[in-house]
Amino acid sequence: QAVKKAVPVSSETRQLLEIAIQWAKATHGAFDPTVAPIVQLWGIGGEHPRIPADNELKKAIGLVDYRDIKISGDTVFLRRTGQGVDLGGIAKGYAADRVTAFLRSHGVASALIDLGGNVVAIGSKKDKTPWNIGIQNPGLPRGNALGFVSVTDRSVVTSGTYERFFEANGRRYHHILSPQTGAPAVSGLESVTVVSERSADGDALSTAFFVMGIQNATELLKDLPDIEAIFVRREKDRYRIEVTEGIYDRFTLLDKTAAVFRLKR
Ligand code: ADP
Ligand code: MG
């Protein structure tokens, strides 16, 4: 509808769109909330996922551009027919922030909110020690952790290839897409975890870092002193875990076959 006329949205939707656009700018479109045309073509997570044809993808890629979202008051307009917004890469984080604010406003001083890959720790545990948040082993069923990070009052969000995918022709197609190629992002990463104050930021950034790859992400992290990250890659027969300096001492390795490195920004 928004390509025909400016459509009214709730103030929450407008706020969320603004945060999404902010991160799209900062990540030079690695995170882009207008990926909807590409997401729809693949249908990953839906009932009929498929590999799109090249010409379809080309057309869809051309429609992806966050600069075409026009917000005016509480209305949203998209410049071109066929464009669409998909907030799947940030909405869960935003929801977690709203739950956090709600609990805090009711005086909750200690809680763990887990929306699946999106965790917010309020305060510390009852015994005053930090919350320990597991970092999923990308190759094993849910619940198997490579290690954990100890936090108080922080959001911990992970984006990984193992979250949602389908298999065709012996290949695995996951749900984090490169707005440039229109295909599942191939950056050598298995997962990216972002530790931040606001979960919406962590959600957008974990998706963006995954698309950008560790080198570009490390470069961007120089401008984001309050953001910490954990990058997991596969290295022959072990996992290589890179942890930014600010949380290096708060990371505990559980999988002793994996190797942990301190990441300087
Ligand atoms: P999860 O949903 O597993 O927590 P993410 O936060 O990484 O994972 O979000 C993935 C979702 O975000 C996809 O299902 C899709 O809706 C959307 N998405 C995919 N690629 C991008 C991208 N490059 N920029 C913004 N959103 C994306
Ligand atoms: Mg995300």
146-158 per-position pLDDT tens digit? 999 999 999 999 9
Ligand 1 near 151 CB (within 6 A): no
CA angle 203, 209, 214 (to 5 degrees): 150
Assigned token pair, 160:
């990984």
Grade residue 168 by pLDDT with cuts at 50, 70 and 90: confident
Report whether pLDDT(55) > 90.
yes
Ligand 1: atom nearest CA of 118 is 4
Ligand 1 in reach of 158 Cβ (< 6 A): no
Q: For residue 164, which atom of ligand 1 is closest to its CA?
A: 3
Type of residue at 10: S
Instruction: Give the mean model confidence (pLDDT) for residues 35-63.
Output: 94
Report the pLDDT value the prediction gives residue 240, as an integer from 0 to 100. 98
What distance in angstroms lies between residue 77's CA and the mean position of ligand 1's atoms? 22
32 lines ligand 1 (CB under 6 A): yes
**89-95 mean pLDDT:** 97
Closest Cα partner for 28 from 65, 61, 1, 63? 65
Reduced to 3 states, what is the DSSP secondary structure of residue 249? coil
Q: What is the pLDDT of residue 15?
A: 96
- Name the residue with the closest Cα to ligand 1, atom 19: 176
- The first and second tokens of residue 211, run together, are 């698309």
Mean of the per-residue pLDDT values for the chain?
96
Check pLDDT > 80 for residue 163: no
Say if CB 2 and CB 78 are below 8 A apart: yes
Burial of 240 from C-beta contacts in 10 A (0-12 / 13-18 / 19+): middle
Q: Which of 172-176, 197-201, 257-261 is predicted with the least confidence, judged by mean pLDDT? A: 172-176
- Ligand 1 pocket test, candidate residues 22, 40, 86, most atoms within 8 A of CB: 86
Q: Residue 162 — very low, low, confident or very high, per pLDDT cuts 50/70/90? A: confident
Which residue, chain included where needed, has tokens 């300096």? 245
CA of 88 to the centre of ligand 1 (A): 5
Q: Is 88 in the pocket of ligand 1 (CB under 6 A)?
A: yes
Q: In this structure, which ligand is nearest to the CA of 206?
A: 2
Atom of ligand 1 nearest to the CA of 93: 6
Question: Ligand 1 in contact with 39 (CB < 6 A)?
Answer: yes
How high is the pLDDT of residue 224? Answer: 98
Beta-strand pair 145-151/171-174 = unpaired
What is the Cα Rg of the chain in Å? 19
Beta strands per DSSP E along 91-188? 111-114, 118-122, 131-136, 145-151, 154-160, 165-168, 171-174
- What confidence tens digit (pLDDT) does each residue in 100-137 have? 999 999 999 999 999 988 999 999 999 999 999 999 99
Q: What is the pLDDT of residue 120?
A: 98
22: tokens are 């902010």
Long-range contacts of 5-12 (CB under 8 A, 24+ apart): 5/77, 6/70, 6/72, 6/75, 6/76, 6/77, 7/75, 7/76, 7/77, 8/74, 8/75, 9/74, 9/75, 9/76, 10/74, 11/74, 12/94, 12/98
85: pLDDT strictly greater than 90: yes
From 40, 118, 207, 209, mutation site for ligand 1 pocket: most ligand atoms within 8 A of C-beta: 207
Tell me, what's the pLDDT at 258?
97
Looking at residues 237-249, what average pLDDT do you find?
97
